[in-house]
A and B are shown apart, each in its own frame.
Chain A
Amino acid sequence: MASDDLAFATIAEIAARYRRRALSPVELTRALLGRIERLDPTLHAFVTVTAERALADARRAEAALRRDADGNPLLGIPVAYKDIYATRGIRTTAGSAVLADWVPEDDATCVTRLQRAGCVMLGKVITHEFAFGLQFPGHRFQPARNPWNLEHMPGGSSSGSAAALAAGLAHGALGSDTGGSIRGPAAFCNIVGLKPTYGRVSRAGVITLSWTLDHTGPMARTVEDCAVLLQALAGHDPADSASSREPVADYVVPLGQGIRGLRVGVPRAYFFEGVDAEVEKAFEEALATLRDLGATVTDVEIPSIQTSWAFLAILMAEAFAYHERDVRGHPELYGDVLRERLLAGGLILGSEYVQAQRLRSRLQAEMLDVLRRTDVLVTPTTPKPAPTFAAVWDPSFGFPKSNMAPFNMTGLPALAVPCGVSAQGLPLSLQIAGRPFDESTVLRLGHAYEQTTEWHGRRPRI
């Protein structure tokens, strides 16, 4: 297998090669570290490369594979962690000058779970500042570049995770998603990202942005790889007060069951406002593919969907609550954009926060009602492909309305899957959302779509 093919192989393909003794974890890890050394000075996906740790993990995985060739599917799989996941003994910056030298004493639960499953830690990947700001020119940390076009953003805030996967620098990554920060970067970089149900995957040890909106989850290059990662991550964690005791399903075996008879709902209002024509065309073609695969597709209405943007009031108020002491005491340590977003949260009245939560309850009830009549909802993940850095660095850019935030408001699982390419060569993406804790159906639909199309197999020229 050529080195590029190795870098872009799926987790299942790598695991099969390990078990045939056609490849070793140390060999793959060395290849990826070399690739990171060659490409990352251009992409800036990594904040910290943990080469020695990676090779130690790889040697341990190699020994484990020698003892038990039928072990865990993640044994020896190289991954990268978003730099808001605490890693014991390894600097965790949150992309911020506030934590630029913070070295945690414990791993986040998600890190513990992937390391226990045998993953190889390649390093820490950049996040937008505290998962809410932006990296401007002159910022302490450089922004990750989009491997599909270096002048365009890779999305945020899990920008390094998506850029690393799209460039073949890792085989899996962790992201976090408060208003689309797993799915947006996945959409802009032609990879797959899953925001699981609120409470499905632990947030313990992950730096908070908004307690009631934060989700953690896997990012990878295929739906199956995401399912394999989710299998290791999901499950109750007493260290996370929002962690659910709902039993963990099998996410991998049902992937191949097909989607004949599955009911797909399309909420047209809100999700198609400001959508580019080429995004809409790719979306309609995706619907046609789902019909060909045996799903029934119908339009649905969510009466309160236009109130979704109360999301921003909840996010800003909770983020201010988390950061208040530091942003009041050391405002100079925050970037301009983040500081203003946080301070704006301090201007939201208590009554407004309560009303936003009431709107959220209504939206959640309506979505659950729609999901009694349909199995999944599908929308474009983003209304447009990745913007340029020049556009987002313009002071008038603001905080764009999101097709993803409604599923943070409601806590429902949502997946981003590649579904096309723009005239400029930028990736387009399909969002699939489902019932609470029904990640299996969401992943099954995504896998069926992915296996019928070739979008996920495209590679950027770097």
Chain B
Amino acid sequence: MTLDEVRARMKAAGIEIAENRLELVRRLLTDALAPIHVLDSRAARTLEPAVMFDAIRSAEPRQDDDGE
């Protein structure tokens, strides 16, 4: 990620960061996003972040709820 890309993201997000701290932010984002940017999303086995549910069996509170 370049400094110009950081500035473009700041503009889009409405976020201000002091110019003399941008290099630190650039490095932080580069490290955080490196594994994501090498991921070929379509080639990866389907991985869906999804909500999972257990069937609701009763409206009664469970006995192990301690009510704290």
Residues of A within 8 A of B (CB): 109, 112-113, 204, 235-239, 245, 306-310, 312-313, 316, 328, 336, 340-341, 343-344, 346-349, 352, 354-359, 361-362, 395-396, 398-399, 401
Contact = CB atoms under 8 A, between A and B. Distances in A.
Interface in B24-38: 24-25, 27-29, 31-36
A240 to B, nearest CB: 10
Given A236-B65, A358-B48, A358-B49, A310 B24 contact: no
A360 to B, nearest CB: 8
A112 B15 CA distance: 39
Given A309-B31, A347-B29, A245 B62 contact: yes
Interface of B: 6, 9-10, 13, 15, 17, 21, 24-25, 27-29, 31-36, 39, 41, 44-45, 47-49, 61-62, 64-68
Contacts of B24: 340, 395-396, 398
B28 A235 contact: no
Contacts of B32: 309-310, 312-313, 316, 344, 348
Contact of A346 (B13, B34, B44): B13
B68 A109 contact: yes
Given A238-B67, A239-B68, A355-B39, A343 B31 contact: no
Nearest to A342: B15
A341 B25 CA distance: 7
A41 to B, nearest CB: 33
B53 to A, nearest CB: 13
Nearest to A312: B32
Contacts of B27: 398
A399 B24 CA distance: 10
18 contacts: A112-B68, A235-B64, A306-B35, A309-B32, A310-B32, A310-B35, A312-B28, A312-B31, A313-B32, A340-B28, A344-B28, A348-B29, A348-B33, A355-B41, A359-B35, A359-B47, A361-B47, A362-B45
Nearest to B8: A347
A236 B28 contact: no
B49 to A, nearest CB: 4
B41 to A, nearest CB: 6
A358 B28 contact: no
A238 B65 CA distance: 6
A340 B21 contact: yes
A87 to B, nearest CB: 15
* For the complex of A and B, 5 pairs with smallest distance between CB atoms: A312-B32, A358-B47, A307-B35, A357-B49, A347-B9
